[in-house]
């Protein structure tokens, strides 16, 4: 055997470890096919429903509505922090809202026109949905919670993830308060 072509044990082990590490990383990448989401709590489908819902609560007119002002971002962020107790309410409520929309209009809530979304939300607000999947009063309770959180987002401090670009302060012709800390839209 030629001494020049001989690999030391140390060199062989280091090359083996590098090779095994590379294979491991490649296999992890192949297994992890889940797309990276910017949302902390909500799924992409839930975001579509909630965007349509918050826009119904504070619609766009001369000023940005709740959707463009970041209400969904605010709620998503708060559900992973101080609003954790509402996670199940949102998960179940958005699912039931979608089911109600499909039963009443044979269409997803976010795909309904403005008028049909409004009709459905009025039925929810009056607790008049006659569907067995909503427990008595759960539809109105859910809708009230979303209204409350949307208002907090729209009129609160941008540092909490809502009121993007101080839209509500500008709309109300208030001076923009100085915010100490981060603006956390990312």
Q: Where are the domains of the chain?
A: 44-171
Pick from 34-38, 52-56, 76-80: least confident: 34-38
Which has more confidence, 43 or 7?
Answer: 43
In this predicted model, which residue has the larger pLDDT, 126 or 117? 117
Measured between alpha carbons, how far is 112 from 170 in angstroms, rounded to an integer? 30
Question: Which residue blocks in the chain are alpha helix, DSSP H?
Answer: 9-31, 44-57, 71-79, 87-105, 114-125, 138-155, 167-171
- pLDDT given for residue 61 in this prediction: 83
**Choice among 29-43, 48-62, 94-108 with the minimum mean pLDDT:** 29-43
Do residues 109 and 94 make contact, with C-beta atoms less than 8 angstroms apart? no
pLDDT at position 26: 60
Q: What percent of the chain has pLDDT over 70?
A: 68
Burial class of 175 by CB neighbour count within 10 A (0 to 12, 13 to 18, 19+): exposed
Q: Region 45-64: what's the mean pLDDT?
A: 91
Compute φ and ψ for 133, nearest 5 degrees: -75, -20
Average pLDDT, the chain: 79
pLDDT of 182 higher than 60: no
- pTM of the entire predicted model: 0.71
CA angle 106, 93, 184 (to 5 degrees): 115
Rounded-to-integer distance, Cα 137 and Cα 12, Å: 69
Confidence of residue 24 (pLDDT cuts 50, 70, 90): low
Whether the Cβ atoms of residue 121 and residue 147 lie closer than 8 Å to each other: no
Per-residue pLDDT at 186: 44
Mean pLDDT of 153-163: 67
Compute CA distances 186 → 37, 96, 101, whole Å: 12, 29, 31
What lies within 8 Å, CB to CB, of 169 at 6+ separation is 163, 175, 176, 177
């Amino acid at each position: 055997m030629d001494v020049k072509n001989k690999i030391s044990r140390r060199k062989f082990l280091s090359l083996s470890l590098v090779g095994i590490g590379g294979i491991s990383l490649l296999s992890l990448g192949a297994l992890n096919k889940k797309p990276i989401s910017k949302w902390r709590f909500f799924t992409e489908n839930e975001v579509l429903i909630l965007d349509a819902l918050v826009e119904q609560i504070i619609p766009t007119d001369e000023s940005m509505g709740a959707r463009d002002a970041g209400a969904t971002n605010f709620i998503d962020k708060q559900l992973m922090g101080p609003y954790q107790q509402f996670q199940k309410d949102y998960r179940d409520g958005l699912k039931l809202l979608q089911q109600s929309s499909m039963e009443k209009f044979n269409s997803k809530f976010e795909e309904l026109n403005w008028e049909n979304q409004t009709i459905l939300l009025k039925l929810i607000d009056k607790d008049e949905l006659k569907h067995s999947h909503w427990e008595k009063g759960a539809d109105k309770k859910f809708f009230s919670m979303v209204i409350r959180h949307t208002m907090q987002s729209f009129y609160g401090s941008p540092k909490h993830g809502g009121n993007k670009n101080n839209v509500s302060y500008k709309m109300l012709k208030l001076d923009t308060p100085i915010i100490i800390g981060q603006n956390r839209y990312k």
